[in-house]
Amino acid sequence: LIARKEADIASLNWLGQVQATVAGVVKRYVDLAAAYRSLNVRDEAIALAQKLVEDNRSRRDEGKMTDVDVQEAEVAVSIRQEERISADTDYVERLNALRVLINPVDAPMVGGRIVPTTPFQTRRPDMDREALMSLAKENRDDYEVARLELEREESRVAYALNQKKPRVDLQASVGSYGLDGDFSGTYDESFSGQGPEWSVGLQVSIPLGNRQAKQQLAIARKQAEQARLKEARLDLVVALELDTVINRIETAAKRLETARKTSALSRSFLESESQRMKEGKSTSFHVLEKQTDLSASRTRELIASADLQKAIVDLWVVTGTVLDQYKVSVSDRVESPDQQGYVPLELKVEK
């Protein structure tokens, strides 16, 4: 009974590792997607700076600007190109980090690039704490693990109590002997039924002191009490985890909303400043400044989107629903044309 419960606990702990791995893959994919989309932000920044270089050259030829204005814009292009190179390096590093988790041994992914196409989930899920707590109790494996651990320790207490009781053993034996002048004859006579014998008896063992059994009982009771405390404490742990992840989601959502407004305003300010420069009311420096502000606000918006997505993944982990969210099923039996048997659990992802 105890061994069976330990096997069930091991299976549930393994399933918890599967959930953590799936969540880790999703988060690394989000990091990769953010790094890839950051390249688009850098490309736009380079394009805006290059256009300003061309416009400044035209105005210089018209006598409205100097070589300094052109060089100022050219320096901005170089700076943005450096930033693009750094962003590309970050993308490759995040790509390799994802490959570590998903790279199949039989078909290694060497070289090439992954282009993320799945959009971020920016809509906040239902944040009802009571509903989420109920969902966690229903789906989290550690609740079942805590219950099984308590049952296992209670079984050990029952066994230890049983060891303190008197023991009565029924003993019985049946045999036959033979007598003759040599070994061969004796052997034959014993099987011919010459001298059958049998015996029946009772052996009673009464523990006196029995320190070992008492120590085992004390240890078992202590472990059972710890299992009860762990089960009772689990609600508090899950509630705190929920509070943390809900706060993270709300904070990321507010950051995203603010960053979107900032990006829209930055783009509007850039357009206004560019128009003012065309009218001779502004300078190339101020336009470049507004371009930098736009790039920075778009980057903050991208980071907030990624943080919100990862916080939502954490919510699914806390509620024990991450496998359901990504339609990952777990099978404990694998069949093949030439072999059929039980093997370690196999992941199957529905498409």
pLDDT tier at 351 (50, 70, 90 boundaries)? very low
Residue bearing the bigger pLDDT, 185 or 86: 86
pLDDT surpassing 70 at residue 132? yes
Same domain, 289 and 149: yes
pLDDT tier at 108 (50, 70, 90 boundaries)? low
pTM above 0.85, yes or no: no
Residues 6+ apart with CB under 8 A from 122: 253, 256, 305, 308, 309
Same domain, 282 and 299: yes
For 305, phi then psi, to 5°, come to -65, -45
pLDDT tier at 314 (50, 70, 90 boundaries)? very high
Same domain, 42 and 144: yes
pLDDT score for 337: 39
pLDDT tens digit string along 151-180? 666 666 566 666 666 666 677 776 655 555
pLDDT score for 124: 80
Residues 6+ apart with CB under 8 A from 163: 210, 213, 216, 217
Percent of the chain with pLDDT over 70: 64
pLDDT tens digit string along 15-41? 777 788 888 888 999 999 999 999 999
Final residue belonging to a domain, choices 206, 228, 256:
206
Distance of CA 181 to the CA centre of its chain: 81
- Give the DSSP letter of residue 109: -
pLDDT tier at 290 (50, 70, 90 boundaries)? very high
Are residues 65 and 59 in contact, defined by beta-carbon separation less than 8 angstroms? yes
Give, to the nearest 10 degrees, the angle between helix 2-61 and helix 67-102: 160
Span 128-150, mean pLDDT? 77
pLDDT surpassing 60 at residue 302? yes
Same domain, 284 and 149: yes
- Give the DSSP letter of residue 168: E
Same domain, 298 and 223: yes
Same domain, 177 and 51: no
Same domain, 122 and 195: no
Lowest mean pLDDT among 95-99, 184-188, 317-321: 184-188
Cβ burial of 172 (10 Å; 0-12, 13-18, 19+) is exposed
Lowest mean pLDDT among 97-101, 141-145, 214-218, 252-256: 214-218
Largest CA distance in the chain: 138
- Give the DSSP letter of residue 350: -
Bridge partners, 174 (sequence order):
198
For residue 350, the number of C-alpha atoms closer than 13 Å in the C-beta half-sphere is: 9
Residue bearing the bigger pLDDT, 304 or 101: 304
Pure H helices in 140-210 = 141-163, 183-191
pLDDT surpassing 50 at residue 198? yes
Same domain, 190 and 222: no
pLDDT tens digit string along 267-276? 999 999 999 9
pLDDT score for 344: 36
pLDDT score for 134: 85
pLDDT tier at 206 (50, 70, 90 boundaries)? low
Same domain, 173 and 125: no
pLDDT tier at 51 (50, 70, 90 boundaries)? very high
Question: Rounded to an integer, what distance in angstroms lies between the CA atom of residue 76 and that of residue 290?
Answer: 12
What value does the mean pLDDT of the chain take?
Answer: 78
C-alpha angle 41-44-45 in degrees, rounded to nearest 5: 85
Which amino acid belongs to residue 133?
M
Alpha carbon dihedral 110, 112, 114, 115, in 10-degree steps, equals: 180
pLDDT score for 272: 95
- 129: domain CATH number? 1.20.1600.10
Same domain, 145 and 83: yes
Residue bearing the bigger pLDDT, 294 or 113: 294
Question: Rounded to an integer, what distance in angstroms lies between the CA atom of residue 190 and that of residue 179?
Answer: 7
pLDDT surpassing 70 at residue 221? no
Span 108-121, mean pLDDT? 75
Distance of CA 154 to the CA centre of its chain: 32
Question: Rounded to an integer, what distance in angstroms lies between the CA atom of residue 38 and that of residue 303?
Answer: 9
Same domain, 197 and 149: no
pLDDT score for 39: 95
Query: Which domain covers residue 30, as residue numbers?
Result: 2-165+212-349
For 332, phi then psi, to 5°, come to -105, 10
- Please give the tally of structural domains in the chain: 2
Residues 6+ apart with CB under 8 A from 252: 304, 307, 308, 311
For residue 173, the number of C-alpha atoms closer than 13 Å in the C-beta half-sphere is: 6
Question: Rounded to an integer, what distance in angstroms lies between the CA atom of residue 187 and that of residue 172?
Answer: 23
For residue 153, the number of C-alpha atoms closer than 13 Å in the C-beta half-sphere is: 19
pLDDT tier at 338 (50, 70, 90 boundaries)? very low
Residue bearing the bigger pLDDT, 314 or 235: 314
Same domain, 37 and 51: yes
Distance of CA 204 to the CA centre of its chain: 56
pLDDT score for 136: 83
